[in-house]
Structure 1
Amino acid sequence: MTDTGGGTEQGVFPGMPEPLWGGSPSKLLAFLDCPRRYRMTYLDVPRPTPRHQRAHTSVGIAVHNALRDVWDLDAPTPQEGGRLLERAWIDVGFRDAAQSARWRARMRDAVVTYLERFGPPVRPIGIERTVSLLSDDLRLQGRVDRLDDRGGELVVVDYKTSRTVPTDDDARTSLPLALYAAAVWKMLRRPVSRVELHHVPSGTVVGHDHTGESIRRHVERARSIMHDARTADADHAAHGTASEMFPPVTGPLCGWCDLRAHCPEGQAAGPEKSDWAALGED
């Protein structure tokens, strides 16, 4: 699933209601994970320059593009999906050309196998479909990787390419999946309960069947995070980078942060990971 970034604060005049906070699930999670990274990503102007792209990001983009474009073909087949992967390949972040070639072949085969096993028999009703959720003072927007209609039941599908294979519990607790289910439910006026994570490299599919109540709990969790983020946003508007509401959260993830060059605390937390470290065993 792809998120469509942040939002711009609306002008406020006397007597106007408080403006909506706009953003995406990834924006909410960025504030939750590390307020410092959130500030640098969404609020600082000019935005600090991030590091160059890592290999695992190149892999993820190529796989998502292939699984998107295969449905534009007159006769989509698993083999055509593999060829699209090769054409979409991004040779950035790898140790060398040989490593890139190995991973291109590996992910081509993975896409073919995935489509043979889990490609829907008919074209999905949504491919990278932009969805929006407006709930009281919360406004979210993003793109669903795939939206299936399986015998009248709508299913939200999110592709994964990380080396960690997800579990059913990951699908159950995923805030983005639940928010996108809520958005589709509201936009199409059709109940959505099933959400799935499709791990393309391993061919693993995990999922969860939400209830209306469990989706409401996720929406309220998002609203709670949003309220904290909006308070911090206002402090940033008043004090800029001197605001004290954006402390760094340091730990192992600092080695992967694309903005660690601008964060002394993150640099002190440990060494930076190599461009290809997330690929795991080669």
Structure 2
Amino acid sequence: MLPDMPTRLFVATPTKLMTFADCKRKYRYTYLERPRPPKGPAWAHNTVGGIVHEVLADFFGRWPASRRTPDEVVARIRVGWRDEGFRDEVQSLDWRERATEMVLGYLRESDPYYEPRGVERTVAFTTARASLRGRIDRVDERPARSGDGTELVIVDYKTGRRPLTSTDARSSLAMALYVLGARRVLHRPCTRVELHHLPTNTVAAADHDDDSLARHQRRAESIVDDAAAAESRWAEGLTPAEADEAFPPEPSPLCGWCDFARICPQGRRVAPPRDPWAGLEDLPPTEALD
């Protein structure tokens, strides 16, 4: 750095920040090691979630109103279905039908002419130390509840088995950062966040205020400071022992769901690697927001 040059901002997404907060070894494997260590097999619950997200993005963001019909939804899921992570063909076909029912149930009351403000919309904002960005499933523009003009609402689709609450929506770092990013990019008031849980067809909503957004921003900046310091050490060159000290594992029951569980002895001791389809039967960790 030359004298008087601005400080380089740390670029991150919510997923990157939460990976560092949850397990620094996983962060190292995901973002720093090159070549990246081999990941385990694909997860079936991620396959289901990915296809559901793709279909809803097509429905609200790419298809004209004439295509927004149940038949088109069924056809799109059948064409786009993938077998990654499932135990066998029978389980895959069963979940293809379940995913179809979830999406059709969710869309049953939808207005085919409704146009969101954004679909799969990337937003970003900067702080004194970081450039934070993320991609929002859907941004709605609705009449302001104050009765004056319109306001933005951040919508995120969830397909995990666990029902969600307003506490989940309010405590989500990603959703709060999306609010700040949407305000910056779209120049509209935005306080409300909604988690749309397709398995139960319910909405968990929360409203942020300046204080709650400031708390989430401080939390993000704290993670940024720690991650940036760790990456600086990595850039200087570390021995394997030093790398393990700078990026230690954080063993927990969630280790069984980690993509790198098979190469992490500390994680395996706490929680053996799960079968790729286990998330369809048990409770996988809440999906990451990015």
Normalising by structure 1, what TM-score? 0.91
> What is the match of residue 38 of structure 1?
27
Q: CA deviation at 1:63?
A: 0.3
In the TM superposition, what is the alpha-carbon distance from 1:18 to its structure 2 partner? 2.5
- Look up the match of 1:85: 77
Q: How does 1:19-168 map to 2 (within 5 A)?
A: 19-71=8-60, 72-74=62-64, 75=66, 76-117=68-109, 122-151=114-143, 152-168=150-166
Q: Distance in 1 between matches of 2:152 and 2:4?
A: 42
Q: Is the 8 A contact 1:82 1:109 kept in 2?
A: no
SS of the residue 1:94 aligns to:
coil
Give the Å deviation of 1:94. 0.6
Distance 1:144 1:212, change over 3 A: same
In the aligned structure 1, how far is the partner of 2:57 from the partner of 2:158?
Answer: 13
Asked if the contact 1:83/1:108 (under 8 Å) is kept, the reply is no
Task: Tell me if 1:279 matches 2:286.
Answer: no
- Residue 273 of structure 1, CA deviation: 0.6
| Cα 1:220–1:102 shift into 2, 3 Å | same
Counterpart of 2:146 in structure 1 is: none
Note if contact 2:140-2:153 (Cα within 8 Å) is conserved in structure 1: yes
User: Could you say what the CA RMSD is over the residues aligned between the two structures, in angstroms?
Assistant: 1.6
1:239-262 superposed Cα distances (whole Å, 9 cap, x missing partner): 334332211000111111101222
Which residue type is aligned with residue 267 of structure 1? R
Evaluate the alpha carbon distance shift between residue 120 and residue 174 of structure 1 in structure 2; reply closer, same or farther with a 3 A threshold.
farther
AA partner of residue 12 (structure 2): G
Shift of 1:120: 7.6
Q: Following the alignment from structure 1 to structure 2, what is the Cα–Cα distance between the partners of residues 123 and 218?
A: 30
| Secondary structure, aligned partner of 1:166 | coil
Q: Deviations over 1:162-215 (max 9, x none)?
A: 111111100010000000010001112211101000111221111101112211
Deviations, residues 67-118 of structure 1 (Å, cap 9, x unaligned): 0111322222344333322222111111110111111001101101101145
1:199 & 1:113 partners in 2: Cα distance? 11
Supply the distance in 1 between the matched residues of 2:112 and 2:6 (Cα, whole angstroms): 45
* Aligned partners of 2:262 and 2:273 also within 8 Å: no
Q: Secondary structure at the match of 1:208?
A: strand
Q: Which runs of 5+ in 1 are unaligned?
A: 1-11
CA contact (8 A) 1:27 1:38 kept: yes
Give 3-state SS (helix, strand or coil) of 1:141's partner.
Answer: strand
Q: 1:194 and 2:176 equivalent?
A: no
Aligned length: 270
Counterpart contact for 2:23–2:248, Cα < 8 Å = yes
Residues 2-30 of structure 1 show CA distances to partners (whole Å, capped at 9, x for unaligned) of: xxxxxxxxxx4455332100010000000
Query: Out of 167, 172, 186, which is 1:169 matched to?
Result: 167
Partner of 1:224: 222
Q: Compared with structure 1, are the counterparts of its residues 156 and 131 closer, same or farther at alpha carbon in structure 2 (3 Å cutoff)? A: same
Structure 2: runs of 5+ lacking an equivalent = 144-149, 283-290
Distance in 2 between residues matched to 1:145 and 1:119, nearest whole Å: 18
Q: Please list the CA deviations of residues 134-160 of structure 1 after superposition, one character each: whole Å capped at 9, or x if unmatched.
A: 122111111100000112121000111
CA contact (8 A) 1:22 1:140 kept: yes
Identity %: 44
- Greater shift after overlay, 218-227 or 236-245? 236-245
Question: What letter matches 1:231 in structure 2?
Answer: A
Helix, strand or coil at the partner of 1:195: strand
TM-score, normalised via structure 2 length: 0.88
Aligned residue number for residue 285 of structure 2: none
Any conservation in 2 of the 1:50–1:258 contact (CA below 8 Å)?
yes
Deviating above 6 A after TM superposition, structure 1's stretches of 4 or more consecutive aligned residues are none
CA distance in 1, matches of 2:207, 2:110: 18
